[in-house]
């Protein structure tokens, strides 16, 4: 059987006006047995649906802040969003859910998925959520800096089979109010939501930390990528 094709949301560079990609997103998928392809930055539904037809799963990557307009708030001054990404990813997420395609969200991915499905975000953690937990580490980014508790009745616990892991962390926005259709599957020691999932969906997980930086060393990161790609493989087997 051919490898699952995973559609990867592009990163955008405002200064250079160019799309780009962190190799860890691609390499984590490849190591797990998938074939990654980066989407263009477009919002045309017809073209996006054509692209999604060839994909067995969708990865929502990190990058720009999610616009507070998605959850009806006025942006803080230090919020840097990308309307093109927000518009495109709303189309992609809606279609992925409708067609039961596997979805994995990382960093911005968890924030976007939560906001797009009716939740809210902390626009800026240093301003809105005082904590001693390090959520914005310095390089290297493959080193864990805080702990995460995994809820025992969650999909993530079934995958990792542990109730506590060490993770890396680099973000200034985060999940505030969880979307009504989503469930929490991981939290940091300070109570911040670090993982969510959509029950009844084939595979829709989103995490706040960065397996694309730690997958070479960290077994848990490898297991997350593999669970995602394997879910895409189950889609391919039905075609």
Catalytic residue numbers read: 107, 210, 212
Select from 80, 75, 99, 92 the least CA-distant residue to 41: 92
Q: Which residues are CB-neighbours of 121 under 8 A, at least 6 positions away?
A: 66, 68, 71, 111, 114, 115, 173, 174, 175, 176
Is 235 in contact with 221 (CB distance < 8 Å)? no
List phi, psi (to 5°) of 142: -95, 5
Q: Which helix (H) or strand (E) segment is 149 a member of? A: strand 146-150
The helix-helix angle for 108-116 and 83-98 (nearest 10°) equals: 70
Give SS3 for 173.
coil
Handedness of CA 85, 88, 92, 94 (dihedral sign): positive
13, 46, 217 from 65: Cα distances, Å: 13, 26, 28
CB atoms within 10 A of CB 50: 10
Is 214 in contact with 142 (CB distance < 8 Å)? yes
């Amino acid at each position: 059987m051919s490898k699952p094709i995973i559609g990867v949301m592009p990163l955008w560079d405002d200064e250079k006006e160019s799309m780009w990609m962190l190799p860890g997103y691609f390499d984590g998928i490849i190591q797990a047995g998938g074939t990654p392809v980066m989407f263009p930055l477009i919002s045309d539904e017809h073209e996006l649906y054509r692209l999604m037809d060839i994909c067995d799963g969708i990865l929502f990557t990190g990058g720009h802040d999610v616009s507070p307009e998605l959850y009806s708030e006025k942006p803080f001054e230090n919020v840097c969003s990308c309307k093109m990404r927000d518009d495109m990813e709303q189309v992609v997420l809606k279609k992925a859910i409708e067609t039961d395609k596997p979805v994995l969200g990382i960093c911005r991915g968890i924030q976007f998925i939560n906001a797009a499905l009716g939740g809210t975000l902390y626009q800026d953690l240093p301003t809105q959520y005082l904590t001693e937990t390090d959520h914005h580490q310095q390089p290297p980014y493959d080193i864990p800096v805080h702990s995460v508790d995994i809820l025992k009745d969650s999909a993530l616990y079934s995958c990792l089979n542990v109730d506590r892991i060490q993770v890396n962390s680099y973000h200034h926005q985060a999940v505030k109010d969880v979307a009504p259709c989503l469930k929490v599957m991981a939290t940091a020691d300070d109570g911040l939501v670090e993982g969510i999932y959509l029950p009844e969906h084939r595979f829709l997980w989103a995490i706040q930390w960065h397996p694309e930086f730690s997958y070479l060393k960290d077994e848990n990161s490898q297991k997350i990528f593999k669970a995602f790609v394997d879910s895409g493989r189950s889609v391919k087997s039905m075609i």
